Each structure stands twice: as structure tokens, then as C-alpha cells.
Amino acid sequence: MFTILRFDYSDKALFEKAINIRTTVFVKELYIDPELENDEFDETSHHYLVIENDQPVATSRWRETEHGIKLERFAVPADHRGKGVGTLLLKEVLSDVMPLQKRIYLHSQHTAVNLYVRNGFDIIGEPFEEAGIKHFYMEFHRE
């Protein structure tokens, strides 16, 4: 059974749990520079933490930009992948941002593109490199 918590930067205890997951996935698994991973947008973003059996197992955030709603920092540690937690989290975030009636977009790592395609996103344009990893710009299409 998964529980999804919503929080903001001021909740330091939950934010620390989210940062621990992000560090595991982005810094330790993908070798992304910690300075790129920890940016100034955390303070103004809306954060999520997925809990299973009292343990944090996934995190993400979204923020409003001049282009719309940007979904970011989806992170599920390797030992929790393949259980549907990423899809569950993505659907929860989408249900929160869709009422805002703004463009919903993200930069997907090439390995996660299928997750987003299965959940209503389209690839727009050519791949690009971000933090040393191949990414695709994707937008959510409303049906």
C-alpha cells in the first residue's frame, strides 16, 4: 500500500527524505553533479513523497514556469522500480496540475520516455543533453 504525501520546502523532515531519494538516484546511480541536482527551484516547487511500509520509495516535484507547469525530479530507487510506483506518482501529480489549465511539460531521460508516453505525453523535437544524459522534451496532451 502506497501513501503519497504533498509538501513544500518548509517541511524539512519530508524534504530531507525526498533529497535522500534524489541523491541515491541522480547522484549515486546516474553520477549527476550534486550542484546540478540541488537547485534553487526546490524552494518554490510543490513536492511529493511516496511512502510504502513507512519507508520513502519515490519523489517528484512540479513548479510553474513562464511556459506552464514543469514536472521534475521523478526519482524511484532501483530496488523499487517495476512496481508501478512511478506511474502512481505521475498520475497523482497530473491530477493535481491538470485543473490549472496550463501546458504540462517535462524533460525526460531517454530511459523513462516510455513511462511518460504510456501516460499521455508526446515527444516534441529532437533529443538533447542535460546533466550529461540524453533527454527529450515532452508535453502532456489532454484528451
3-state SS track over 66-83 = CCEEEEEEEECCHHHCCC
Where in the sequence is the domain holding 22, given as residue range(s)? 2-140
What is this structure's pTM? 0.94
Which of the residues in the chain have pLDDT under 50? none
CATH code, 109: 3.40.630.30
**Nearest-angstrom CA–CA distance, 118 and 103:** 18
Inter-residue contact 108 to 125 (CB < 8 Å):
no
Report the candidate in 60, 59, 86, 57 with the shortest Cα–Cα distance to residue 71: 60
Please tell me the predicted confidence (pLDDT) of residue 34: 87
pLDDT of residue 39: 85
Count the domains in the chain.
1
